[in-house]
Amino acid sequence: MTEQQTTTESVPLSSLSLDQLVQLSQGLGRKADAIREQRAHLKRLIDARLAAGERDGDAQRTASDGNATAAGAVIEASAT
C-alpha cells in the first residue's frame, strides 16, 4: 500500500489570477448548492414528521417539581 498524503498550502487571495478566483467562487457555489439541497431534503423529512404529530420527547414534560415547558413552533405560510 502506498500511503497518500495531502498537503494544504495557504495562498493569499490577492495573489490569485482572475480565472482562479472565478474557479474558486464557482467551487464554493457548487458546495453551497449541495448543502442547500441537503437542507431542503432534511426540511421535507422534518415537515413530514411534524405533520404526523411527532415531537421531541423532552419538549414537554412535567418535572418532579411540578414545572413544565411547552415547546414553541415554527408555523409557516408560503407565498409561493
Partner 1 sequence: MSSLIFNRALELWARGSIDFDTDSFKVMLTTSAYTEDKDAHDFRNDVTNEVSGTGYTAGGNSVTVSVTLDTANDRVDISLGGTTWTSSTITARKAVYYKARGGASSADELVAVNDFGSDVVTSSGTFTLNASTMRIQN
* Residues in contact with partner 1 by the rule CB under 8 A: 50-51, 53-55, 59-63, 65-80
Q: How far is the CB of 50 from partner 1 (least distance, A)?
A: 7
Q: How far is the CB of 37 from partner 1 (least distance, A)?
A: 16
- CB within 8 A of 55, min separation 6: which ones? 71
- Cβ proximity to partner 1, 42 vs 50, nearer residue: 50
What is the C-alpha separation between 37 and 33, in angstroms, rounded? 6
Collapsing DSSP to helix, strand or coil, 45 comes out as: helix
What is the C-alpha separation between 11 and 80, in angstroms, rounded? 43
- Cβ proximity to partner 1, 16 vs 50, nearer residue: 50
Q: How far is the CB of 10 from partner 1 (least distance, A)?
A: 29
